[in-house]
């Protein structure tokens, strides 16, 4: 029994120095090659032929048009999917109805289906040989190879983002708060804006940011339905591909740097929001901070 107390404590899982160092090493190497290197290359290559060429590529009408189109797609798809996401999350977490589980699965589909499959499916629905194609053509409505197609495809791909952020949180919060609010005499809208929304706002903003990042970066589905018409139906990711196929690597990298910049701003916004969210929670939990 006596040597039990003198014996070293058994190592915890992963406590061995060799194990720890190799695990950290693997992660650092992977991050360097898979994430950091490509991002650095974008910056280096974009300016490899000088500032002038970079500037020329960025202010080229085709590039500017691609940026505008990408922003337009985001301006429409993000608000629509935000409203959809809130409605879906609210319905699923606050009500019981027939087909609720099915709805949950359907919301997940855009996550599991390859975007290019979605694109092809849209071809069969709205294309000339497709389901509504002839009717749309007869009425002179252009969806495919035009801006509406790009927006619809973007919306499909990003539909789950907001709902996915909200559903677990709202499920954890339960219905008590809404029931309390209603029993105190508040209307449904009042309950939503005064009680539900303030308690999910950080998750909601986070979902919106992710949704926005994905809309702006979406390639596969949009590539199928847009038709890739330079200066007309080219979004920024598609424009990068076109430049690359034109053997204009520098131009492609210059355009890519715009997307990368948007991504960096997105991450900064996300971190800032998380900080603010965390700060608010801390302030609530610590009375001293408030009274001082």
Partner 1 sequence: MKIHLENVVKTFESFRAVKGVSLDIESGELVALLGPSGSGKTTILRMVAGLEYADGGAIYFGDQDATDIPVRDRGVGFVFQHYALFPHMTVADNIAFGMKVSKVKRDKAAIDQRVTDLLRLVRLEGLGDRFPAQISGGQRQRVALARALAVDPKVLLLDEPFGALDANVRRDLRRWLREIHSELGITTLFVTHDQEEALDLADRVVILKDGQIVQQGTPEEVCRDPKSAFVMKFLGDANVIAADVRDGRAHAGGLSVEAAGVAEGRAELYARPSDIDWSEQGPGIAAEITRVLDRADGRRVLATTGAGEALEFDVEPERVVKAGETGFVTLRRAKVFGV
179 or 246: CB nearest partner 1: 179
246 or 274: CB nearest partner 1: 274
Cβ–Cβ < 8 Å for 203, 169:
yes
Least separation in angstroms between residue 103's CB and partner 1 is 18
Least separation in angstroms between residue 269's CB and partner 1 is 22
186 or 249: CB nearest partner 1: 186
Cβ–Cβ < 8 Å for 174, 242:
no
Packing angle between helix 147-158 and helix 115-126, nearest 10 degrees? 140
Residues of the shown chain interacting with partner 1 in the complex, contacts defined by CB under 8 A:
176-177, 179-187, 190, 194-195, 198-199, 284-287, 290
15 or 179: CB nearest partner 1: 179
Least separation in angstroms between residue 175's CB and partner 1 is 9
Give the CA distances from residue 259 to residues 67, 174, 203, 233, in Å, rounded to whole numbers and listed in that order.
9, 39, 24, 17
Least separation in angstroms between residue 183's CB and partner 1 is 4
Q: How far apart are CA 142 and CA 225, in angstroms?
A: 11
Place of tokens 């009274």: 291
**Dihedral sign, Cα of residue 200, residue 205, residue 209, residue 212:** positive
Kindly state the DSSP code that residue 9 receives in the 8-state scheme: P
End-to-end CA distance of the chain: 54
Least separation in angstroms between residue 152's CB and partner 1 is 36
Least separation in angstroms between residue 67's CB and partner 1 is 38
Place of tokens 């599991």: 112
128 or 184: CB nearest partner 1: 184
50 or 198: CB nearest partner 1: 198
């Amino acid at each position: 029994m006596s040597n039990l107390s003198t014996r070293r404590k058994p190592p915890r899982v992963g406590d061995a120095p060799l194990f720890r160092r190799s695990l950290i090493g693997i992660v650092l190497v992977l991050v360097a090659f898979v994430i950091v290197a490509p991002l650095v290359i974008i910056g280096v290559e974009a300016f490899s032929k000088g500032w002038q060429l970079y500037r020329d590529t960025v202010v080229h009408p085709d590039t500017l048009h691609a940026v505008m189109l990408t922003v337009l797609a985001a301006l429409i798809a993000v608000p629509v999917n935000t409203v959809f996401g809130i409605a879906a999350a609210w319905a699923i977490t606050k009500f019981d109805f027939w087909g609720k589980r099915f709805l949950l699965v359907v919301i997940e589909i855009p996550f599991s289906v390859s975007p290019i499959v979605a694109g092809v499916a849209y071809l069969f629905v709205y294309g000339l040989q497709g389901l509504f194609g002839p009717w749309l053509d007869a009425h002179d409505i252009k969806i495919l190879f035009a801006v509406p197609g790009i927006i619809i495809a973007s919306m499909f791909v990003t539909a789950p983002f907001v709902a996915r952020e909200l559903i677990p949180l709202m499920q954890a919060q339960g219905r008590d708060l809404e029931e309390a609010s209603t029993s105190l005499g508040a209307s449904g809208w009042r309950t939503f804006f005064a009680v539900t929304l303030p308690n999910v706002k950080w998750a909601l903003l986070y979902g919106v940011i992710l949704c926005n990042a994905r809309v702006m970066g979406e390639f596969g589905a949009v590539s199928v339905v847009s038709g890739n018409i330079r200066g007309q139906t080219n979004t920024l990711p598609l424009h990068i591909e076109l430049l690359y196929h034109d053997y204009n690597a520098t131009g492609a990298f210059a355009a890519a740097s715009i997307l990368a910049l948007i991504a960096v701003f997105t991450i900064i916004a996300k971190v800032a929001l998380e900080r603010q969210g965390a700060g608010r929670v801390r302030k609530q939990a610590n009375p001293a901070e408030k009274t001082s």
